[in-house]
Amino acid sequence: MTNVRPSAAAHDYERMMGMVTGFWVTQAVRAAALYNFADHLAAGTDTAEAIAEKEATDVDATRRLLRTCASLGLMTSDDGRHFTGTSLLSTLQYDDPHSLRHFAISQSAPGHWLPWGRFPEAVRSGRHQVTAAHGEANIFDYFAKHLDEAASFTESMSNLSRASALDIAAVLDTKGVTLALDIGGAGGDVIRAMMRANPELEGGVFDLPHIVPAAAEAAKAEGLDGRFTTVGGDFFASVPPADLYVLKYILHDWDDANCVRILENCRAQLVKGGRIAVVDHLVGEPGQPGLAPLMDMNMLDMTGGRERQIAEFDALFTAAGLHRVNVTPAGAFAVIETQPTP
């Protein structure tokens, strides 16, 4: 009698096969992003021959990648030669408001890719794998020596911020705020959204010196440079004074001791009556779907940081002399507002 795999087992087999081969998809998407498939198809450049000519790629390999992208739902083809992008592919367009192009490129580049190849060692040791993979103390030191990847990573953070910036700006009340600073704010998407929402708000980005020029250029392009400032520095040393600090996707990069240090430095310069707003994922109960548990693994492997539950954030705030005054959902994130404890 022929052995017939039960349907439930077959489903699990297919799911696991998809999980095991997930890195194939990652690199296929990376190539599609690097070779601008989304933008080419949107502009009517829709054959392997035409795309290969523009991108200086092998025609046969390009055709095979287009076929694979179609199997992933990124595009369709009626004749096997001409391709049309789907709405999913549009997320890889350079100027799409929900673009993930740079995120797709940076997450699969050597800076992240090689440490993730050592992920089991991160679980065994509890330590990030950037030093073992790259010989650097942390990923930010690596980026300082690989400016092309640093630029792509900065853009990838803008990709993630741009989609949620309007949600965050709608949640954070800036009435009466004189100066809001985005600490570690990269391209400044969040603070610029807040400035657009409040035409009287002065805002700025405080980040590493090689990062802030991109924020200044973006503010100038939007006509915000008259009330926008950038300061290069190290938030482990000090931050400029302000009456609202925004820390989006910052604390998850660091262990508890470093988080407390960052928060203490913000508290020390906070104008009386000001607030510190932490924007991060909140980890839910085991089994709750979402990005947070996987991002937690990314932090384990890449930075030594972690995604946290609200009680873990509260412990950080208490240690830094702060207390939580509000938590509000903003897209995939939570905006956690704090003030100094009297």
The DSSP call for residue 131 is H
Listed in sequence order, the DSSP H helices in the chain are: 7-20, 22-34, 37-42, 48-55, 59-71, 101-107, 110-116, 119-125, 130-134, 139-145, 147-171, 189-197, 212-221, 256-269, 292-302, 310-319
Question: Alpha carbon of 300 to those of 157, 158, 254: distances in Å?
Answer: 18, 22, 10
Expressed in angstroms, the distance from the first to the final Cα of the chain is: 77
Contact 178, 243 (CB under 8 A): yes
CA distance 72 to 24: 11
Q: Residue 324: name the closest of 309, 308, 341 by CA.
A: 341
Q: DSSP letter at 47?
A: S
The residue type found at 195 is M
Q: Is 252 a catalytic residue?
A: yes
The span from the CA of 243 to the CA of 178, in Å, is 7
Rounded CA-CA distance 214/230 in Å is: 10
Query: CB–CB of 301/119 below 8 Å?
Result: yes
Selecting among 40, 102, 128, 252, the annotated active-site residue is 252
Annotated active-site positions, please?
A: 252
